Amino acid sequence: MSEIDNLQKADGIEENKLPINNDDATKKTSSEINEEFPAETLEAANDETSSQTSEVIKEDNTEVKENEKEDTENEDVINEIEASNAEDAEDEGNKERHTIEVKEYDKMSLESLAIEFEKLLKNEKIQAIRSHANDINNEFKTKFQALLDEKKADFLNDGGNEIDFYYTSPVQKRFKAAYKEYRNKLNDHYKSLEKNLKQNLSHKLEIIEELKGLLNLEENINTTYKHFKELQERWRNTGPIPRDKYNNAWNSYHHHVERFYDFLHLNRDLRDLDFKHNLDKKLKIIERAEELAKDDNITRAFRELQELHKMWKEELGPVERSKREDIWERFKNATKIINDKRQEYYKEIDKVYEKNLENKLEIIAKIEAIAAQESKSHSSWQKKIKDIEALRNDFFNAGKVPIKVNEATWSKFKQAVRSFNKNKNAFYKGLKKEQYENLQKKLELIKIAEDNKNSEDTDVTTVLMKKIQSDWKKIGHVPRKDSDKIWKQFKAACNHYFDKLHSKRNAASQEQIDAYNKKQDLLNGLKKITLSGEKDKDLSTIKEQVDKWKKIGRVPNDKRYIEGKFNKTLDGLFSNLKMDKNEVEMIKYENKLDTLNSGENNITNLDNERSFIKKKIDEVKGQINQLENNLQFFTNVDDENPLVKDVHNNIKKHNEDLKLWKSKLRKIKDLY
């Protein structure tokens, strides 16, 4: 239990009854002053009871000014405490307010703010969360407005008209419902409070009237004193009153308490006993205040200091006049130390706020710089949008700024973001025409895909489908509202065709495996053939086997090596025949062309083969020209010269190769 609790318990005082003021020495009656102070100190005593701007009669002007300055500073602190307690006097929830944690609402998301507000509403007294509710509400409105601006910008980018814009969200509805409940509960609280405040004020005024009447009672002084103590207890136990009536009511009450103590000069024992009791309690309050002056928790120390002032003013009566000045000065000095530390604490907080302000201004400057940059591509704008979003988050997480510049800083931030959004909107409005043209191009591709999705001409259609897929990727953006719809439509048509194609290929795979098995059997049989030695008959036999091979059909791609084995076997058979080399080569080439022309990509395969042969023809012609040019260097040389003969032989060989390549090219052209 704290010292302040002990003091309250010892004096039979309940917690949180009435607020605080400075000293019991507020308004002194003229009878007291005339009785206990000589004429030369009368002015000092009167000054002590009003604003306490001067403690004694000064001997020189310099000392007067210094003391007046110090007293004014002290009085400012006392007035601040007095004003706070006067406000709290109207609301019994003030102590709870001090114990509720104030979180960093500026760093919370919209959803977190709504959750925190609901938790306060559920777990705390309605009057105790007033400042928290205001802070959370202001933060929510600020962040939701930023979100609203962003959604509005997106709406305008998509071609919407500003007058048609509307946006709401579940978290907004949730917060509005909680805030409405808070306002209703708070209104109900104040209606009930207003009635109680008026009743309590009426009771306290009645107590004041009874205090007045004590001076006129003709009864034993002990009985009157007992009655006086009962009135004091009733005053303490009466609840809060309106704040605007608090000081007047307390001053009137204290005035008549002082008058009663004047009246007690007839029985000094009772008065001295009360003075001693009050002095003991006030000394304990001073000791506690001096302990608080050493406390590092400034906020907690100042809150308890308010309670001590409250007890000093509201719960305790005066002490003997000779000691009033000394104990009040001692209490004020402890108060000043605590307040000085508090002011230093707030200066440090102000430094943090100033640093936060610097950070926020730097963030705003970065946003302004990005907004001023020119960008002519969608990708560039998308990067800038991400950068701005990151800066917006940094701004919201940068902490509080001094309250005097808070509104201006927020306004400057909104203006910077609004400038960026304006430029962004202008860019995307310029893209609307291009996006519409892109939409028409993609719609044309969709029509091609849908018109050909059931085609059976797989060789042509497969190439076409792949081409329009490539073209689709090259076309730029379309309006966002159409993007998903047309993509699904295009994708469905393409998938329909390729699913059908793959299904057909899967069905054909078994047929190709069977073809491979048949060719393997044919190849094994071909290896066992024994030729008769008659050229024409043997050639007919070989061609017959080649025809059978062609008719079997395609084999799986991973089994195409069997074609090489077949050609190698043919080479062995042809080597036993006395046939022209080019004739044998053309027989084998016809079989190769048949294989190339039977696949799914036959056109592509034939095109590649034709390009290859043309290239070979050009190479052979180049070699022949080179050799013929070389002959020109052999002048006056006999044709029987070995070098000359070698060149002529090479030319002859290349001409035979050229003839073969040309024959192959004619065969390919025949297929076209």
Q: How many domains does the chain have?
A: 5
Tell me whether residue 279 is in a domain: yes
Tell me whether residue 424 is in a domain: no
Tell me whether residue 158 is in a domain: yes
Answer yes or no: is pLDDT of 366 > 90.
Answer: yes
Specify whether 468 is located in the same domain as 617.
Answer: no
Tell me whether residue 517 is in a domain: no
What pLDDT is attached to residue 7?
34
Helices (H) and strands (E) counted in the chain, each on its own, are: 23, 0
Specify whether 300 is located in the same domain as 312.
Answer: yes
Specify whether 376 is located in the same domain as 453.
Answer: no
Task: Give, in order, the Cα–Cα distances in Å from 477 to each of 377, 442, 447.
Answer: 11, 10, 19
Distance of CA 379 to the CA centre of its chain: 22
Specify whether 407 is located in the same domain as 439.
Answer: no
Specify whether 577 is located in the same domain as 649.
Answer: no
Tell me whether residue 423 is in a domain: no
Specify whether 110 is located in the same domain as 31.
Answer: yes
- Mean pLDDT highest for which of 9-18, 32-41, 75-84, 450-459? 450-459
DSSP 45-105: HHHHHTT---SS--SSHHHHHHHHHHHHHHHHHHHHHHHHHHHHTT-TTHHHHHHS----G
Specify whether 156 is located in the same domain as 261.
Answer: yes
User: For 27-59, how does the pLDDT look when each residue is reduced to its tens digit (9 = 90+)?
Assistant: 333 233 233 323 222 233 233 333 332 333 233
The last residue of one of the domains, among 331, 347, 363, is 347
Residues above pLDDT 70, as percent of the chain: 81
The last residue of one of the domains, among 501, 520, 542, is 501
**What is the pLDDT confidence band of residue 494, given thresholds at 50, 70 and 90?**
very high
The last residue of one of the domains, among 418, 441, 458, is 418
Specify whether 107 is located in the same domain as 189.
Answer: yes
Taking the model in full, what pTM does it have?
0.42
Specify whether 97 is located in the same domain as 179.
Answer: yes
Specify whether 595 is located in the same domain as 613.
Answer: no
The three-class DSSP label of residue 250 is helix
What pLDDT is attached to residue 668?
81
Specify whether 42 is located in the same domain as 56.
Answer: yes
Range of the domain at 643: 604-672
Burial class (CB in 10 A: 0-12, 13-18, 19+), 395: buried
What interhelical angle do 642-671 and 581-596 show, nearest 10? 30
Tell me whether residue 519 is in a domain: no
Half-sphere exposure of 636 (CA within 13 A, CB side): 0
Tell me whether residue 513 is in a domain: no
Answer yes or no: is pLDDT of 467 > 90.
Answer: yes
Specify whether 341 is located in the same domain as 360.
Answer: no
Tell me whether residue 364 is in a domain: yes
Alpha-carbon distance of 13 to 7, in angstroms, equals 8
